[in-house]
Structure 1
Amino acid sequence: MLAAPLACAHPAAAQDATSLKKDMVGQWELSTTERSKTCVVTLKGDAAPQGFKLELEPGCANALPFAKDIATWNVKGLDIVRLQDTSGQPVIDFTEVESGIFEGVRQNEGVYILQNLAAARSLAKSMDQMIGDWAMVRSSGQMICGLTLTNTDAGQDNFQVFLKPKCDPMVTAFAPKRWRLEHGQMLLMSDKGETWQFEADDNAQWRLVPDSTDPLLMMRQ
């Protein structure tokens, strides 16, 4: 009586892996976590020895030296996307950490990201639009601080932020050092582990959440 459930488990597992293989066909950006080095990988559905065909854009090996060993790709188990060499051995294995974003680790090198190309380029464009001078403003229009968002790497997908002189004591006590975009929010982070989250009202104005009776806004200067 126990044989039937065990037998049923295999088709379900195969279906999960099959779905992932289908979903992975397309263009992806392979990059370092801060996207300082990137490479476009086109994963194909055509069979190849040990897996499926892929194409690397010219210059991939210059940006990411391990890319020269990548020959094919495959799905291992239920959820591992493997970029592999000619013998089918892993060059790097990825698992999905967010929808459309996969993370992999190479020993002694660090973490790498595999992300849907269109989404990666959309994020890069959004990031570029954020770089520059901003003002923290009360709803009354009173400016309480000026700050500059930069694209200077601050580690862990964060970038440096600098306060200008004569900020309100509330902001100087918070002392944000890093920023990033995450799930449509702008995050400002201090060295003390405190985070302020802002949501976009429009392209030039962001509002601190949760909201308050005296909202704090971030506006382009």
Structure 2
Amino acid sequence: MRRCVTAAMLLLLSAAPAPAQDAAALTKAMVGQWELSTTERSRTCVVTLKPEAAAPGIQQGAQHGMKLELEPGCAAALPFTKDIAVWTVKGLDIVRLENSAGEAVIDFTEVESGIFEGLRANEGVYILQNLVAARSLAKSMDQMIGDWSMVRGSGRAVCGLTLTNNEAATADNFEAFLKPRCDSLVANFGPTMWRLERGALMLIAPSGEVWRFEADDNAQWRKTPDSADPLIMLRQ
């Protein structure tokens, strides 16, 4: 979901576990409640990672798996979670969710403090992050919904845009609509979807082209890479 985040995300991440220096530290930092989700949280599952070793009958193929709990709705939201029985840390920095035979269901690595990414073949990327931070991020996403104005650095308005919470045809994206009489550059780009990705706002065109915006210190969103005449999104 670049390693630059919004001011809100910086506050959230400051409360999350710092990157662990070794497997023991990472194991200790992971104990607690986490949200497992698709990249833009259209489907979520709460996972509680515990410090106790799993009973031998739970995990037959590995020796060091630890207990976990999945909330009741996990299997419906993320079907692969029905196979998850235990968790463990592999090597120095891999958080692994395993089945009862000790086989990996999904591996996560930390990409930002307290935010982990994992890839499942033919499915895509999933995010594991501190539950409190994740729920605060959800509020941030809600705050993005509504009308925006695109302006140049000079203050000249070039387009109006509405971000919605309607799920788009492409997974983990939401519908976006341009308003009439947009500048030709924006109109030709013609974004129809949006998402937040690790603190950045992504506008996506049907062609697959993506414009990336990052929040600055003035609560504005600036298109990156920056330019002498930046394109800025302002809340209406």
Task: Calculate the TM-score normalised by the size of structure 2.
Answer: 0.71
* Shift in CA distance, 79/155, structure 1 to aligned 2, threshold 3 Å: farther
User: What is the one-letter code of the residue matched to 1:161?
Assistant: A
Q: Secondary structure at the match of 2:51?
A: strand
- In structure 2, which of residues 32, 36, 44 is the aligned counterpart of residue 38 of structure 1? 44
Letter in 2 for 1:27: Q
Kindly provide the amino acid, as one letter, of the partner of residue 172 in structure 1: A
Name whichever of 29-38 and 89-98 sits farther off.
89-98
Partners of 1:105 and 1:139 lie apart in 2 by 38
**SS of equivalent to 2:72:** coil
- In structure 1, the residue matched to 2:93 is 79
1:68 to 2:82 alignment? yes
1:180 to 189, 195, 198: 195
2:119–2:126 contact (8 Å) kept in structure 1? yes
Superposed counterparts of 1:157-196, under 5 Å: 157-190=172-205, 191=207, 193=209, 195-196=211-212
Deviation, structure 1 residue 211: 5.8
What is the Cα deviation at residue 82 of structure 1?
Answer: 1.6
Contact 1:208–1:217 (8 Å) recurs in 2 = yes
Higher relative strand content: 1
Distance 1:138 1:108 in 2: 40
CA distance in 1, matches of 2:208, 2:38: 26
Query: Could you tell me which amino acid in structure 2 is paired with residue 199 of structure 1?
Result: A
- Return 5+ residue gaps in structure 1 as ranges: 1-14
CA distance in 2, matches of 1:36, 1:63: 9
Alignment of 1:88 with 2:102, yes or no, is yes
Q: Where does the alignment leave 5 or more consecutive residues of structure 2 unmatched? A: 1-20, 56-62
Higher Cα radius of gyration:
1
> Partners in 1 of 2:191 and 2:127 — Cα distance?
26
Q: Percent identity?
A: 68
- The alpha-carbon deviation at position 189 of structure 1 amounts to 4.3
CA contact (8 A) 1:158 1:178 kept: yes
Displacement, 1:174? 3.5
**Contact in 2 for aligned 1:199/1:208 (Cα 8 Å):** no
Question: Does 2:64 correspond to 1:58?
Answer: no
Q: Would you say 1:18 and 2:34 are equivalent positions?
A: no
Q: Which structure is richer in relative contact order (CA contacts within 8 A, separation 6 or more)?
A: 2
Q: CA deviation at 1:44?
A: 1.2
SS at match of 1:176: coil
- Paired with 1:116 and 1:29, the residues of 2 have a C-alpha distance of 6
1:28 corresponds to which residue?
34
Of Structure 1 and Structure 2, the greater helix share is in 1
- How far residue 131 of structure 1 moved from its aligned partner, in angstroms, is 0.9
Distance of 2:93 and 2:84 partners within structure 1: 19
Distance in 2 (alpha carbons) for counterparts of 1:215 and 1:111: 31
Contact map agreement 1:39 1:56 (CA 8 A) in 2: yes
Q: State how many pairs are aligned.
A: 205
Q: 1:90 to 1:192 in 2, by over 3 A?
A: closer
Which amino acid in the other structure matches residue 32 of structure 1? Answer: T
Partners in 2 of 1:168 and 1:108 — Cα distance?
Answer: 38
Change in Cα spacing, 1:174 to 1:59, as seen in structure 2 (3 Å) is closer
Distance 1:140 1:171 in 2: 17
Residue deviations 1:26-65, cap 9 Å, x none? Answer: 1111122332221100111122244211121222222223
Matched, 1:146 2:152: no
Q: Is the 8 A contact 2:213 2:221 kept in 1?
A: no
